[in-house]
Amino acid sequence: MLEYDSIAAICEAAEQQQVTISALVLSDQAEQTEMPEEALYERMKNSLYVMQEAVREGKNPDLRSTSGLTGGDAARMEAYAAGGGITGTFLNHAMARAVAVSEYNAAMGRIVASPTAGSCGILPGTVVTMLEEGRCDEHAAVMALFTAGAIGMVIAQKASIAGAQGGCQAECGSASAMAAAALVELAGGTPAQAAHACAMAIKNQLGLVCDPVAGLVEIPCIKRNVSGAAIAFTSAEMALAGVKSRIPVDECVLAMRQVGDMLPCSLKETSKAGLAATPTGLRLKRQVFGET
């Protein structure tokens, strides 16, 4: 059975058995939970469907959060993506999906915490995009979520996936690493390349603070989901090109934990510093909650 205490160990086991990370994890989870692989697969497929539903609902131009601070940007991104923008329709549609799921979360819609609600747009923004843009089939997309889940389990055990404990690097950084590994698998890369993609995704968000305006998972969280999705794509592309992380992935995870432990409490979801403490951030807080 897998211990889920090392990303490198999981990738090495997959390499040795000449299977994908997802196939290894699905088999292991079936053994650990004493459930048929088919049942676990169907459960994960339902998670994929929830992600797709959140993407669709989140693109509603009239969608607004209860606070009134966010909503409607996914529709704007979707319209912009149709014209190609600077980076092309594919990446722009991915960004639109990441915004959509995050805005749907802020509006109290049903989402998959992957690994958290605050970072819920990154995995759908990548995996759902690969599926809906014709880069993979549904089976591959579902299996990729098992790969992402395994990465998240290791990070949760060895570091943190909570902004209140490790800053936004623990939420968007972890989600980006999960998505990067899933993308590598979807593109036909090796488990070793998935490990390098994870490392590069973590390195590029190391030290990211958690400073939600008014204590709400909206500003700047939603836009960080877009950045996290883009980082997942770029990290996967580098790994697939043969670029390697000189710092091993598990050492990157431990560094993330160390940095998170060193961050002051004011930068870990307390809204006492960072963007939350700017004049505009404080004004928006008063706008939502009144003079307190």
Q: What is the pTM of this model?
A: 0.98
What's the pLDDT score for residue 65?
98
Indicate if the pLDDT at residue 241 is higher than 90: yes
Name the residue type at position 214.
A
Taking residues 240-245, report their average pLDDT.
98
User: What's the mean per-residue pLDDT of the chain?
Assistant: 98
Burial of 86: CB neighbours in 10 Å, binned 0-12, 13-18, 19+: exposed
Indicate if the pLDDT at residue 291 is higher than 90: no
Taking residues 276-283, report their average pLDDT.
98
Q: Is the separation of the CB atoms in 221 and 163 below 8 Å? A: no
What's the pLDDT score for residue 223?
98
What's the pLDDT score for residue 23?
98
Place of tokens 């058995």: 17
What's the pLDDT score for residue 259?
98
Indicate if the pLDDT at residue 279 is higher than 90: yes
Taking residues 231-239, report their average pLDDT.
98
Taking residues 193-220, report their average pLDDT.
98
What is the secondary structure of 65-110 as a DSSP string? -TTSS--SHHHHHHHHHTT-TTT-HHHHHHHHHHHHHHHHHHTT--
What is the secondary structure of 160-202 as a DSSP string? ---HHHH-GGGTHHHHHHHHHHHHHHHTT--HHHHHHHHHHHH
Phi, psi of 291 (to 5 degrees): -75, 110
39-89 pLDDT, tens digit per residue, is 999 999 999 999 999 999 999 999 999 999 999 999 999 999 999 999 999
For residue 125, what are its two tokens? 């923004």
86-102 pLDDT, tens digit per residue, is 999 999 999 999 999 99
Indicate if the pLDDT at residue 172 is higher than 80: yes
Indicate if the pLDDT at residue 292 is higher than 80: no
Phi, psi of 120 (to 5 degrees): -70, -15
Separation CA 85–CA 289 (nearest Å): 37
Separation CA 9–CA 58 (nearest Å): 37
Indicate if the pLDDT at residue 196 is higher than 80: yes
Percentage of residues in the chain having pLDDT higher than 90: 99
